[in-house]
Amino acid sequence: MTRKSAGNIVILTGAGISADSGIQTFRGSDGLWCGHRVEDVATPEAFRANPALVQDFYNRRRRQLLEPSIQPNAAHIALAELEKNWRGDITIVTQNIDDLHDRAGNKNLIHMHGELLSVFCNKCETRFHCREDVTTDHVCANCQETGTVRPDIVWFGEMPYRMDEIYEALSYCDLFIAIGTSGHVYPAAGFVAHAGLNGAKTVEINIEESQVASVFDEHISGRAAETVPEYVKQLLTYPDI
Ligand code: APR
């Protein structure tokens, strides 16, 4: 990673930033995940036990993401503007598997939990861009094996992607911002402590306090689509962080 100057920012985003684009968050009041128990759809064991159910779950989410009504909202757009205009490094670490940060224009972006529009083959490990449904009789275009292509999603029990790069960015950031994440899932929920211990100022933006709210220096309350553009405007106007 190239370091431009001091003033580096790491921004962790979660389902709350995409809620304002019409994508449902994970932890609703019923404790279910879009109607399913986590262990039935988001573990390697679930995929082995019932691949059709798991593929169907992600097919439905992929189709929803590709609906014309689902677009980056003002929060995604503000973060892309920040990356273009900020003097230091902006690293977005997203837990979201949608592509709304990509579409908004952020380039220095880490999809730590994978991407809905990507699949890979369990046998030959080839990755493919994917905008279609995947069924259990899908044939891998590289190794020709049947039924081995799975969603490129980091499931529970699997290692999130690009952790070395994330911890490096956290170690060198001056400001850490978490937007729309409940703080239930580690390692992401521990990033605030890591950044804080390394001297960063830490800010949480959420409609409610997260599980790890007490670890942050500051909490900004409100919907991401309203609070994030305001916060970015302030940062660009008074860039002394
Ligand atoms: N603006 C800001 N915050 C919001 C908004 C909004 N419009 N709507 C909801 N939120 C907040 C909620 O208050 C909650 O704290 O967003 C958070 C969403 O929390 P979760 O649904 O738990 O999503 P997230 O934290 O991203 O989940 C982390 O867990 O299930 C796994 O791998 C999955 O990436 C996911 C990870």
75: enclosing H helix or E strand: helix 74-85
User: Is the pLDDT score of 199 beyond 90?
Assistant: yes
Residue type, 174: D
DSSP notation for 132-179:
S---TTPBPTTT--BS-EEEEE--TTSPPTTHHHHHHHHHH-SEEEEE
Q: How many angstroms separate the CA atoms of 166 and 108, rounded?
A: 11
Query: pLDDT category, 28, cuts 50, 70, 90?
Result: low
User: Is the pLDDT score of 3 beyond 50?
Assistant: no
For residue 162, report the distance from its CA to the centre of ligand 1, in Å: 21
Q: Which residues are catalytic?
A: 113
**Four-residue CA torsion sign, 197, 207, 8, 159:** positive
The arithmetic mean of pLDDT across residues 117-142, rounded, is 97
pLDDT tens, position by position, 205-226: 999 999 999 999 999 999 999 9
Q: Write the Ramachandran bin of 171: left for phi over 0, alpha for psi from -120 to 50, otherwise beta.
A: alpha
For residue 165, report the distance from its CA to the centre of ligand 1, in Å: 23
% of the chain at pLDDT higher than 70: 95
The arithmetic mean of pLDDT across residues 5-31, rounded, is 86
Those residues whose C-beta lies under 8 Å from the C-beta of residue 26, and which sit 6 or more positions away, are: 15, 33, 34, 182
Asked whether the beta carbons of 148 and 174 are under 8 A apart, the reply is no
pLDDT tens, position by position, 45-97: 999 999 999 999 999 999 999 999 999 999 999 999 999 999 999 999 999 99
Give the model's pLDDT for residue 70: 98
Query: pLDDT category, 32, cuts 50, 70, 90?
Result: low
Residue type, 116: L
Q: What is the chain's mean pLDDT, rounded?
A: 94
Lining ligand 1 with CB less than 6 A are: 14-16, 19-20, 25-27, 95, 113, 180-182, 184-185, 206-208, 210, 223-224
Q: What backbone torsions phi and psi does residue 160 show, to the nearest 5 degrees? A: -60, 155
User: Is the pLDDT score of 2 beyond 50?
Assistant: no
User: Is the pLDDT score of 185 beyond 80?
Assistant: yes
For residue 141, report the distance from its CA to the centre of ligand 1, in Å: 35
